[in-house]
Structure 1
Amino acid sequence: MNIEPVEKLFTMFNVTADLLKDELSCTYLEALAETGENLFHGKVMQEEISEWTRKRLEKLYGDVSLSGRSKEEIRKGFQLAILKGMQENVQAHHQMTPDSVGLFMGYLITKFINKQAFRLLDPAVGTGNLLSTVLNQQGDKAIDSTGIEIDDVLIRLAYVNANLLEHEVELFNQDALEPLFIDPVDAVVCDLPVGYYPNDLRASEFEVKAESGHTYAHHLFIEQSTRHVKEGGYMFFVIPNGLFESEQAGSLRSLIQNHLNIQGIIQLPKTMFKNEQAAKSILILQKKAEGLMPPKQALLVDLPKLSDGPAMSRILGKIDEWFAENKK
């Protein structure tokens, strides 16, 4: 990808967000959502700003047109601005899925789902970066997407992101572990939020509930996704490597045994993470259905550095062989 358009787009998002941040006395991320709205509507929407700022914004928007830019260039430029905003106001749940992981998740979805039209859910959509990375790789497929996010600012950024990229995404601003009023989906993609879920009363309604104390939110997200995916549907989760080693892992294993088939576990390169304890993998699950057989053996892969072309080619060849054996 040509880096220059991405840098130009980032600079435009960054400078205009800084202008609006000062004028509106809001955070950088809130201002970024405002500037994204302006770009989508093709005009400055904020009535309370000074005439000087209005004219400056109009010039900056006019200098960098989105038409003619690829969806990936727009996504990357917007993502860089979001990352800058997150560094200024770091919160534990404000973490963005690395691009390389999103690209690989998108590749896996194209391999596993051989449909021209399907429904996709991200129950922890955040700013929409993972979902949009996956959607950008699906070509001309008709994908009906849904995202759930409890954080007001993050879901606003996801909304702006979807508009700028012209993706049809239905977004719900709510706790994803409360009841969801959505149609069943063909696939789930999610970078699981890791930690404890504070609502013990709600957690008690799940099979994976802890015997005492708080239940792991990432376990609950897996069960909630299982409830909302169709029989035979797939789920692609970014998981902590120690998912099946915790004191609550027994109930999670029971959930999987009762309702799901493990299709694969792909360990992400440890070089992507600050330390080995933070390392993650991609877990691929399929909801059981009548007449549906589990794979002869699960797809187990250790990914090399994604920049190592020859090693990645060998791994992709291994994945192709697994599909030839297990997905005839």
Structure 2
Amino acid sequence: MLENFENIIDHGQVQVEDGLPKDDVVKKLQDIYSQLPIDQITGETWRQLVQLSFLKVIRKDAIQANHQMTPDTIGLLMAFLIEKVTAHQDIQTIFDPAVGTANLLTTVMHQLSLANHHQLTGFGIDNDDSMLAVASVNVELQKLQVSLYHQDAINALDIPQCDLVVSDLPIGYYPLDKNVANYQTRAEKGHSYVHHLLIEQAMNYLQPGGFGVFLVPSDLFQTKESQSFVKWIQSVAYLQGLINLPSELFANKNAQKSILLLQRHGGKSQQAVKVLLGEFPSFKDRTKFAAFMQEINQWVATNIVK
């Protein structure tokens, strides 16, 4: 998959290494590439093509759960929410500390570019070179301005403070206890939750008044570490919302995810009078879904400082 996309990026020229692919395969590939309207395909269409191709890879190669990509249903909901809450902010830069294939990052970038009428600059971090390889062709095909870094996002990052953070966070424990000695969200005993650590790190690289929008476990505030985690949140940010995704998206109720909405202290930010809580209705019930979207519009209008 990656070789094909790299060939397409190279204007349909097939890269041959160590005599492979053979001449007959090269000709076959070039014939296929020549039929593609490469210069006419939009960035959003390229994103969808990469996504569909990767989904086929996942099924065929039985790829592990951590290598899945954020589904469009979730990515578009997050993009919708972000567009609403940042409508009165000038978003120029966006950061994902667990960028993976960059499907979520680029979904949000496209949505905000349409709303703001200018291209954003993105930054993505991941410690998995396979995922970053997919992210690299993804952003290059889409012609997006995204800098990708292969590193552990828990360590110091060489990026500027950004206007917005968005991330589908990995869930589990972070094994390198020495690396988190300076983190406020570290566990008192044993390994710390990696999603807690990444949220703290992300807020460090967020401009005052900026939003961090994270895909998190729905039981985020029901664990033994939640009390100290909430205390840390209150010290640096306003907890503006927690919305459960439709339960129908998850075969196992214990795997249900939510969208966490944090706003860093500073700028014009202030705590919402009413925290945005609830659950997206089923996609199948269009009336209830549209009504819930309208509730979000109303909440933004009355709770987010313009």
TM-score range, shorter chain: over 0.9
Per-residue CA distance 1:54-97 (angstroms, 9 max, x = gap):
11110111122233333333222211111222231422311211
2:202 aligned residue: 225
3-state SS, counterpart of residue 120 of structure 2: strand
Task: Give the number of equivalent residue pairs.
Answer: 297
Q: What are the ranges of 5 or more consecutive residues in structure 1 without an aligned counterpart?
A: 1-31
Query: 1:133 and 1:308 mapped to 2: Cα distance?
Result: 24
Query: 1:223 and 1:281 mapped to 2: Cα distance?
Result: 18
1:137 aligned residue: 111
Determine if the alignment matches structure 1 residue 187 to structure 2 residue 160.
Answer: no
Q: How has the CA–CA distance of structure 1 residues 227 and 322 changed in structure 2, closer, same or farther, with 3 Å as cutoff? A: same
2:94 aligned residue: 120
2:191 aligned residue: 214
1:63 aligned residue: 35
Query: 1:213 and 1:191 mapped to 2: Cα distance?
Result: 24
Per-residue CA distance 1:8-40 (angstroms, 9 max, x = gap):
xxxxxxxxxxxxxxxxxxxxxxxx122111111
1:320 aligned residue: 297
Q: Amino acid of the residue matched to residue 38 of structure 1?
A: N
Question: Which of the residues 268, 274, 278 maps onto 2:245?
Answer: 268
Q: Amino acid of the residue matched to residue 81 of structure 1?
A: S
Q: Amino acid of the residue matched to residue 232 of structure 2?
A: L
Deviation at 1:104, TM superposition (A): 1.1
Dislocated runs of 4+, deviation >6 Å: none
Give percent identity, aligned residues only: 37
Question: Which of the residues 62, 68, 74 maps onto 1:101?
Answer: 74
3-state SS, counterpart of residue 137 of structure 1: helix
Deviation at 1:153, TM superposition (A): 1.0
Query: 1:44 and 1:179 mapped to 2: Cα distance?
Result: 38
Per-residue CA distance 1:100-135 (angstroms, 9 max, x = gap):
110111112211223454110011000111111112
Deviation at 1:307, TM superposition (A): 3.8
After superposing the two structures, state which structure 1 stretch, 102-111 or 265-274, moved more: 102-111
After superposing the two structures, state which structure 1 stretch, 283-292 or 248-257, moved more: 283-292
Query: 1:146 and 1:156 mapped to 2: Cα distance?
Result: 15
Determine if the alignment matches structure 1 residue 40 to structure 2 residue 9.
Answer: yes
Per-residue CA distance 1:141-179 (angstroms, 9 max, x = gap):
231100001111110110100011111100001111111
Pairwise CA RMSD: 1.5
Deviation at 1:291, TM superposition (A): 5.8
Query: 1:180 and 1:167 mapped to 2: Cα distance?
Result: 21
TM-score, normalisation: structure 1: 0.87
Matches within 5 A, 1:257-296: 257-289=234-266, 292-296=269-273
Determine if the alignment matches structure 1 residue 72 to structure 2 residue 38.
Answer: no
Per-residue CA distance 1:265-294 (angstroms, 9 max, x = gap):
111000000111000110000001166321
Matches within 5 A, 1:80-91: 80-87=52-59, 88-91=61-64
Q: Amino acid of the residue matched to residue 324 of structure 1?
A: A
2:276 aligned residue: 299
Matches within 5 A, 1:214-253: 214-253=191-230
Query: 1:306 and 1:231 mapped to 2: Cα distance?
Result: 35
Per-residue CA distance 1:236-287 (angstroms, 9 max, x = gap):
0001011111111122111101111011111100000011100011000000
Q: How has the CA–CA distance of structure 1 residues 161 and 323 changed in structure 2, closer, same or farther, with 3 Å as cutoff? A: same
Q: Amino acid of the residue matched to residue 5 of structure 2?
A: G
Q: How has the CA–CA distance of structure 1 residues 276 and 116 changed in structure 2, closer, same or farther, with 3 Å as cutoff? A: same
Query: 2:34 and 2:284 mapped to 1: Cα distance?
Result: 36
Query: 1:231 and 1:190 mapped to 2: Cα distance?
Result: 18
3-state SS, counterpart of residue 237 of structure 1: strand
Do the aligned partners of 1:262 and 1:298 also contact (CA within 8 Å) in 2?
yes
